[in-house]
């Protein structure tokens, strides 16, 4: 579950889409449009990124 750092709304992983740009991984809060940073902790067994949200 991810939490918006702006409005504190909580979302299951399948409710928001993780994206990547030149600044890294993130998701946009559907409630307030805040850009929330995600961190790639390395690929899983299938090679997909493992994304986590760290306390800022």
Domain boundaries, the chain: 2-52
Long-range contacts of 22-26 (CB under 8 A, 24+ apart): 25/49, 25/51
Q: Are 32 and 4 in contact (CB under 8 A)?
A: yes
Alpha helices in 1-56 (DSSP H): none
pTM of the model: 0.86
Beta-carbon count within 10 A of 27 CB:
21
pLDDT band at 4 (very low <50, low <70, confident <90, very high): very high
Whether the per-residue pLDDT at 24 is higher than 70: the answer is: yes
Q: What is the mean pLDDT of the chain?
A: 94
For residues 1-14, give the mean pLDDT: 96
What share of the chain has pLDDT > 90, as a percent?
A: 89
Rounded distance, CA 13 to CA 28, Å? 12
């Amino acid at each position: 579950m991810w939490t918006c750092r702006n409005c504190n709304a909580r979302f299951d992983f399948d409710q928001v889409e993780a994206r990547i740009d030149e600044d890294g991984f993130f998701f946009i809060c559907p409630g307030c449009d805040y850009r929330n940073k995600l961190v790639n902790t390395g690929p899983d067994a299938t090679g997909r990124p493992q994304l986590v949200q760290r306390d800022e």
